[in-house]
Structure formats: structure tokens, C-alpha cells
């Protein structure tokens, strides 16, 4: 980096608005176009709830169980086309959300699940309501984060939305320790952050496998096309092409 570039970077940092981690979470949700989130408060996320209290543009739907929050967010995502957002506390709050997270992964539903965590210096000490949220959710999410530095929080928030909604949609978990929620850092908007996660989903089909599938369908006596979320997520054009394909191959679909 040249001296001129260093000066520009330092100036950009000085121009950044300084916010607490909790305020960064709320601002990131606003900048990502979020209007509704579903959650249940607990000690490890009270700073975020305090920040939510001062933000009238976000509607918080209070549930009676964290699993209900994830399923409600799934329904919201299905009906609006926007990612569902969930806010739950640490330990049992996070583990109660597991069923909905798995369901979102299986059904290709974009979810952002924000979980509270004990302070960073207490992680791994069996502190009150601590659990290994990252380890538990590693195999049931598209990606998950444990935020140890508040300066990384703006990037992580915006990156999580990109991962959850691009390619095959799915859930992303962001685990935020309580001390990170109190710490302060400069805020960066969606167009100001640099991705650290090299996520480039494959969006083109394998021509050979497609030809193989066509041959199998064409050779079947009574082919049935059983389709679901992939066709729905691909939009009306995909559904139209599927109907044309069914007509040409003589296949029938159990769904209109």
C-alpha cells in the first residue's frame, strides 16, 4: 500500500460512524432491507434488544419459544422472498433454534440467525448458559460465525446476508459474545465492506448430467416430475420451462 493509499484508508476510518456492536447489528439489518425479525430475549442479547428499542423501522415479533422464531422466520421468508431474521440468546436459546435451522437448510430457506454468547474471555469455561453454538450448527448451516472482534462485525453481518441468499439459499448463524455487543467500532455499509469468505456458488448445470436425466425421463414408461424449492426459487421462467419439458417428454407432475 502506498503512502497515498494509507492516508485515504485512514481518512475513511475517521469518517466511519462509531457504534457499539449491538448498534452495528441493528444498523446492518436496516441497510439489508430487513423490516421484521423474530426473537426471544435473554441476558446475552439484551444489548441488541436495547438498540432495537431505539429503532422504529424494525418490527420485532416476540415468540414464546425459539423454535417458533425460526419457523416463523421461515414462513416469512417463503411468503415475502426476503431472508428471515431470528434473534435468540445463548445456550438454551441457541439450541432451541436448532430444529428450525435444520429445516431451513433442508428446504433451502434463507435465514439469518443471530445468537448471543457469553463474553469472549468466558468461552470454553462452562459459564452460565454457554454452549458451543458454532460446533453445534456447523453441519446444519451454509456458514456460521463466532464474532471475536467488533471491527469484523459489519463485514460479517453483510457477508452473512450474501451467503444466505445467493446460490442455493439457506441459514447462516452469527454468534456474538456479549462483550462484543458492548464494544465500539466504525460502521461500514454493504457496499463498503470487503468479503473475507470466498463464496462463489455454482449456478450452471452439468450438461452431461442434464442429458443423462433427459434420457432417463424419455425412456420411462410413466415419468413423474417431482419438483420443489429449486424450481420455486428459480422463478416463473423455470416453472414454464418445466411444463414445456413435461409436455415434450410425456411426463406428468403431481403439482400444478
Tens digit of each residue's pLDDT (9 = 90 or more) over 93-143: 999 999 999 999 999 999 999 999 999 999 999 999 999 999 999 999 999
Distance separating alpha carbons of residues 203 and 206, to the nearest angstrom: 10
The predicted structure's pLDDT at residue 252: 63
- Say yes or no: 127 and 90 in one domain: yes
- Say yes or no: 39 and 117 in one domain: yes
The predicted structure's pLDDT at residue 200: 75
| Residue 61 predicted with pLDDT over 80 | yes
DSSP reduced 3-state for 95: helix
- Say yes or no: 52 and 152 in one domain: yes
Counting Cβ atoms within 10 Å, is residue 193 exposed (0-12), middle (13-18) or buried (19+)? middle
The answer to the question of residue 179 being in a domain is: yes
Handedness of CA 137, 37, 28, 77 (dihedral sign): positive
Mean pLDDT of the chain: 89
- Contacts from 246-250 at CB under 8 Å and sequence distance 24+? 249/214, 249/217, 249/218, 249/223, 250/223
- Say yes or no: 211 and 181 in one domain: no
Q: Total domain count for the chain? A: 2
- Say yes or no: 83 and 121 in one domain: yes
- Say yes or no: 177 and 50 in one domain: yes
Instruction: Say which residue, 16 or 228, is predicted with more confidence.
Output: 16
- Say yes or no: 38 and 124 in one domain: yes
| Residue 5 predicted with pLDDT over 60 | no
The answer to the question of residue 254 being in a domain is: no
**Could you tell me what percent of the chain has a pLDDT over 70?**
91
- Say yes or no: 56 and 15 in one domain: yes
The pLDDT-based confidence of 150 (bands split at 50, 70, 90) is: very high
DSSP reduced 3-state for 202: coil
**Domain extent for 126:** 3-186
The pLDDT-based confidence of 6 (bands split at 50, 70, 90) is: very low
The answer to the question of residue 161 being in a domain is: yes
The answer to the question of residue 255 being in a domain is: no
Query: Distance from CA of residue 151 to its chain's centroid?
Result: 20
Amino acid at each position: 500500500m502506498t503512502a497515498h493509499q494509507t492516508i485515504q484508508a485512514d481518512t475513511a476510518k475517521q469518517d466511519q460512524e462509531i457504534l457499539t456492536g449491538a448498534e452495528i447489528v441493528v444498523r446492518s439489518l436496516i441497510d439489508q432491507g430487513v423490516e421484521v425479525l423474530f426473537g426471544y430475549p435473554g441476558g446475552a442479547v439484551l444489548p441488541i434488544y436495547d438498540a432495537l428499542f431505539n429503532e422504529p423501522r424494525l418490527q420485532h415479533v416476540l415468540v414464546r419459544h425459539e423454535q417458533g422464531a425460526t419457523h416463523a422466520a421461515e414462513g416469512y421468508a417463503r411468503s415475502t422472498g426476503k431472508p428471515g431474521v431470528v434473534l435468540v440468546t445463548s445456550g438454551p436459546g441457541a439450541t432451541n433454534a436448532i430444529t428450525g435451522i435444520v429445516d431451513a437448510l433442508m428446504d433451502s430457506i434463507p435465514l439469518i440467525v443471530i445468537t448471543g454468547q457469553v463474553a469472549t474471555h468466558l468461552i470454553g469455561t462452562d459459564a452460565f448458559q454457554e454452549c458451543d453454538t458454532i460446533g453445534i450448527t456447523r453441519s446444519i448451516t451454509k456458514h456460521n460465525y463466532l464474532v471475536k472482534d467488533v471491527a469484523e462485525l459489519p463485514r460479517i453481518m453483510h457477508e452473512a446476508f450474501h451467503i444466505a441468499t445467493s446460490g442455493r439459499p439457506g441459514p447462516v448463524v452469527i454468534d456474538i459474545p456479549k462483550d462484543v455487543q458492548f464494544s465500539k467500532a466504525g460502521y461500514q455499509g454493504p457496499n463498503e465492506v470487503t468479503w473475507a469468505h470466498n463464496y462463489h456458488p455454482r449456478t450452471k448445470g452439468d450438461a452431461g448430467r442434464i442429458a443423462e436425466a433427459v434420457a432417463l425421463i424419455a425412456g420411462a414408461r410413466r415419468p413423474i416430475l417431482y419438483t420443489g424449492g429449486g424450481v420455486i426459487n428459480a422463478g416463473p421462467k423455470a416453472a414454464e420451462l418445466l411444463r414445456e419439458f413435461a409436455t415434450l417428454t410425456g411426463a406428468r407432475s403431481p403439482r400444478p
